[in-house]
Amino acid sequence: MMVFRALFKRKLNWVALPLIFVFLFMAAFAPAIVPHDPEEVNLELKLESPSSRHFLGTDHLGRDIFSRLIWGARTSLGSVFLIINLVMLLSMVVGCAAGQIGGVVDSVLMRVCEVFLTFPTFILAMFLIGVLGMGMTNVVIAIVLTHWAWYARIIRSLVLSMKNREYILAARVSGTGGLTLFLRHLAPPVLAQLVILATLDIGHMMLHVSGLSFLGMGVQPPTPEWGVMINDARQFIWSRPELIMYPGAMIFLAVLAFNIPGDTLRDSLDPVIRSEEV
């Protein structure tokens, strides 16, 4: 409850949260609200100015920009939430195993984490995509592999700080088995903290997805995605700069909208985050 009070106490969140709702609505209902097929090519309509039929005009292939922006929210946010869930699953397994089992298992898993934490995430993601090949599936795998280690260390610290608390010791003395003890008393609070921590990285991962797509390593044309749209519009930067500005503004607003409440949550979770160094 303290986290939610902090979230709604900050005035900027009253702007960010409606923006998040708009982006989620666009992503969820894109097929129903796009006025045109976002992949439909019509060279007779290429580079049209905004009109009643095409609210933001068309691109160099005659595709409706407004429809592509809306569908881009579905592609970008859908991939980010898939990445977040996979990161949470992998880090939950590794972090809980390291903290609960301890000993050699803990040492080995933490050394593996340190290897992944050594390299900048974006550079490591580019290397992994170079090994795995281009495409959205490999982008998801690469970003998951570059982000799970930090979460795993946080979860390990949470488990270590909780497993010796009095109510955990009392449950252990009463004969509660290890798996039951973990699922009933350790997993729920750890998972709750993990979900909150994951919100801090939504904007960061969105930049990763769009950046890799801009470089041609992620979503492949003609699939609408904001990074792909920026890459397509590079050749028209002087004649039609708005073609870059539209998807750029969407990325900016989406990252900003998720980062503002993320900063609030980070401030309220400073003791938890600092405990990762323990």
| Per-residue DSSP letter, 63 | -
Rounded Cα distance between 278 and 147, Å, is 20
Q: What is the largest distance, in Å, between two alpha-carbon atoms of the chain?
A: 77
Could you tell me if 98 and 151 are in contact, meaning their C-beta atoms sit under 8 angstroms apart?
no
Distance CA 203, CA 251 (A): 9
Phi, psi of 58 (to 5 degrees): -125, 165
Q: Residue 41 has which token pair?
A: 């090519």
pLDDT at residue 269 in the model = 59
- The model's pLDDT over 159-203, given as tens digits with 9 standing for 90+, comes to 887 777 776 777 666 766 666 667 776 777 777 777 777 877 888
pLDDT at 71: 92
Q: Which residue has the higher pLDDT, 105 or 190?
A: 105
At 211-266, the pLDDT tens digits run: 888 888 888 878 888 988 998 888 888 888 889 999 999 999 998 888 887 777 76
Would you state the pLDDT for residue 3? 57
Nearest to 200 by CA among 266, 156, 248: 266
- Residue 36: pLDDT band (50, 70, 90) is confident
Coil/strand/helix, residue 7: helix
What are the tokens at 258? 């998720």
Q: SS3 of 217, please?
A: coil
Looking at residues 82-101, what average pLDDT do you find? Answer: 87
User: What pLDDT does residue 195 have?
Assistant: 76
For the stretch 1-14, pLDDT in tens is 555 666 667 777 78
Question: Is residue 277 scored above 70 in pLDDT?
Answer: no
Give dist(CA 152, CA 93) in Å, integer: 8
The answer to whether 149 and 116 have CB atoms below 8 angstroms apart is: yes
Report yes or no: 21 and 13 within 8 Å, Cβ to Cβ.
no
**Peptide bond before 247: cis, by omega within 30 degrees of 0?**
no
pTM for this prediction: 0.82
pLDDT averaged over every residue in the chain? 82
